[in-house]
Amino acid sequence: MFFKLARNSLLNRRGTVLLTVLSIAVSILVLLGVDHIRHEAKRNFSQTVSGVDLIVGARTGQVNLLLYSVFHIGNATHNIGWRSYQHVASDPNVAWTIPIALGDSHRGFRVLGTSADFFRHFRYGQQTALTFSDGKPFAQLLEVVIGAQVAAQLGYRVGDRIVLAHGLGSTSFSKHDDMPFTVSGILQPTGTPLDRTLQVSLEAIEAIHLGWQDGVRVPGQQPDAATLAQQDLTPRSITAFMVGLKSKMATFRLQRSINEYPGEPLLAILPGVVLTELWGTLAVVENTLQIVAGLVLVASLLGMCTMLLASMQERQREFAILRAIGAGPGFIWLAIELEILLMVITGMVLAVLLLGGGILALQGFISAQWGVFISADLLHPHTGLLLLSILLGALLLGCIPALRASLLALHGKLRPG
């Protein structure tokens, strides 16, 4: 009976109720959207690299080193010498290393110079290894492995030939068109920045820059195939490198040793610690967005409360009839609270459907533009607690119109229409 009474009452005021439900839905959508995107961004960042004990680069800020080496955001202030890399790699506590050379691009996608160890040791997510949807790692000098987003967006397949460009712009006039690369493999989607990168060997990076000076090709200085085969293509420098240790006990000792390396100024960071520092830096922005979204929700719920209060005087005859047939003030109270419950739950369902549909529609665009994969799965414990708190808050605010309705029912009299 409670449900039927509340439903009919809402249907009789359907215009006002519809606007109120839409207002609640939009405010819940904003709150859930901010919270979900914050949660997904953290998950993406934390799962980009896994199992790396140290990241080493030129002396700079810790966050800056993490951003350009792992997330490919920004640029390195300086490169580090190949001898410095070999010195650290030869430490008896080091199990493996992954060198990284950045600086070139292909149609707006970053090119990552590395070694074959990248495909053997790199892990993301929960210690997940890299796999190929097609092809295999590069084996020849001018072979390239491409990420899933690169292949999907540019329509490349194994065997296609591509030309790399000097610099990081989406449009470049300095292209290495004298040495085209052949696609040897396409990586499975990872949901990390790797989906938007192309991987080539460090030797290939050196080869395509032979005959270049200060970022400009010197005419007549490009080597032919015979000359290239005789060249020593050992890198002179790299951007950074990742380190995996045989024992975690050696982490801080090696970190201190690298930071005090006399050969050149180096910096070794612990990815997890620096990631925590990064989120600490962004905490003010996160909290501000959550506060704004929370205020929008409170304003919407207050609007619902105001709408119900404004309708009380018009519904006085309705309450008097209910009193005449034996309904007490408690019955009226519960009926009003049920109306509030129905409106908020409808708003929640609408908000979840709109948010989920919006994420599904924009998922590809967000991933292509920013390299962040936002899941459309909104059903996790934190979201449940958030929705429950919204529901309880709405019922608490609803006590005001419910109390007003019960008082009107108590003192109201049935008068002829």
Mean pLDDT for the stretch of residues 285-304 = 84
Question: Which pLDDT score is estimated for 182?
Answer: 95
Q: Which pLDDT score is estimated for 86? A: 95
Q: What is the pLDDT of residue 59?
A: 92
Q: How far is CA 101 from CA 79, 257, 258, in A?
A: 9, 23, 19
Token readout for 326 is: 């034996």
pLDDT at 378 over 70: yes
C-alpha distance across the termini of the chain, in Å:
25
329-333-336 Cα angle (round to 5): 140
Determine how many CB atoms are found less than 10 A away from the CB of residue 220: 6
pLDDT in tens, 114-140: 999 999 999 988 788 999 999 999 999
The pLDDT value given to residue 368: 61
Quick one: average pLDDT of 44-61?
Answer: 88
Can you give the pLDDT at residue 237? 93
Query: Does pLDDT of 142 surpass 80?
Result: yes
Regarding predicted confidence, which is higher, 333 or 113? Answer: 113
pLDDT in tens, 230-259: 677 889 999 999 999 999 899 999 999 999
Scored b (16 or more CB within 10 A) or e, 270-302 reads bbeebbeebeeeeeeeeeebeeebbebbeebbe
DSSP designation for 290: H
- Taking residue 348's Cβ as centre, other Cβ atoms within 10 Å add up to 20
Tokens of 367: 């991933």
Question: Which is higher by pLDDT, 160 or 40?
Answer: 160
Mean pLDDT in residue range 65-86: 90
**For 144-198, what is the HEC assignment?**
EEECHHHHHHHCCCCCCEECCEECCCCCCCCECCCCCEEEEEEECCCCCHHHHEE
Q: CA dist 168 to 92, 107, 159, 183, 313, Å?
A: 37, 9, 24, 20, 67
pLDDT mean across residues, the chain: 84
DSSP 365-405: HHHHHHS--------SHHHHHHHHHHHHHHHHHTHHHHHHH
pLDDT confidence band for 417 (50 / 70 / 90): very low
Tens digit of each residue's pLDDT (9 = 90 or more) over 205-216: 988 887 666 556
Confidence of residue 416 (pLDDT cuts 50, 70, 90): very low
**How is the chain split into domains, by residue range?**
2-45+282-411, 49-281
Strand stretches in 46-127, DSSP E: 54-58, 80-81, 94-100, 104-106, 109-114, 123-124
Query: What is the pTM for the complete model shown?
Result: 0.74
Q: Would you place residue 409 in the very low, low, confident or very high pLDDT band (cuts 50, 70, 90)?
A: low
* Nearest to 353, CA basis, from 376, 374, 383, 387: 376
